[in-house]
Amino acid sequence: AQTVTQSQPEMSVQEAETVTLSCTYDTSENNYYLFWYKQPPSRQMILVIRQEAYKQQNATENRFSVNFQKAAKSFSLKISDSQLGDTAMYFCAFMLIRTGANSKLTFGKGITLSVRP
Amino acid sequence: GAGVSQSPSNKVTEKGKDVELRCDPISGHTALYWYRQRLGQGLEFLIYFQGNSAPDKSGLPSDRFSAERTGESVSTLTIQRTQQEDSAVYLCASSLWTSPSYEQYFGPGTRLTVT
């Protein structure tokens, strides 16, 4: 079974600064995807960024980038130039890629990020 | 285009009553997932539908929970004899099975409160 751990329940960052959210996971599999989702108060889960485990290059999406350390099973999210609209809960998630697997997402408990003006 | 929709947005029910939650996936999406999110927690997988294949029910917490999906359209999640521990947000997601991105698109969820 796969597990995802987000040990920081809350973080706060000043607007325009950079913040890093931590995530570790545990799996014996080799082929998987990792995701960061954002959940604002509206409850709508929004995909922020995705990383394929077979890719060594870290994924980037505009102000969002990841530090993927496969051997350490670590997958952190860096948000640069934080904006007030980044205030939300952020969830790290794991998806096993295997023939016959159902592509369900396994989520961490999430971290509440507050961006201060 | 239209995203995943869910109804009702909020549901308050008395302990012991049955409830039915509805999910309308994105048109053309063959895969559909139900997740449960308890207060302050991450999402827990409940059930998965893929086309006409048998659903994966491995995440359902008890036999009070069931779900149906007709073809590649609407899905309903039914909770019988609700208990207070069933209070949570129930989220539905759909995806294109053949999509290499495997992205799941989520609905806004139904907040269920059992009193």
CATH at residue A82: 2.60.40.10
Number of domains in chain A: 1
> In 10 A of CB A117, how many CB atoms?
6
Distance CA A43, CA B92 (A): 12
Which CATH number is B5-100 given? 2.60.40.10
> In 10 A of CB A67, how many CB atoms?
15
Determine whether the interchain pair A43/B108 forms a contact, defined as Cβ–Cβ distance below 8 Å: yes
Determine whether the interchain pair A105/B104 forms a contact, defined as Cβ–Cβ distance below 8 Å: yes
User: What's the pLDDT band for B53 if we cut at 50, 70, 90?
Assistant: confident
Distance CA B22, CA B74 (A): 7
Distance CA B30, CA B36 (A): 20
For residue B70, what are the contacts with CB-CB under 8 A and spacing of at least 6?
none
Distance CA B76, CA B46 (A): 13
Q: pLDDT tens, B8-36?
A: 999 999 999 999 999 999 998 989 999 99
Closest to B48 in 3D by CA, of B77, B26, B21: B77
Q: pLDDT tens, A40-88?
A: 988 889 999 999 999 989 999 999 999 999 999 999 999 999 999 999 9
- Which residues in chain A are contacts of B31 at CB distance < 8 A? 103
Per-domain residue ranges of chain B: 5-100
- Which residues in chain B are contacts of A36 at CB distance < 8 A? none
pLDDT at A94 over 90: yes
Is the Cβ of A11 closer than 8 Å to some Cβ of chain B? no
Is the Cβ of A64 closer than 8 Å to some Cβ of chain B? no
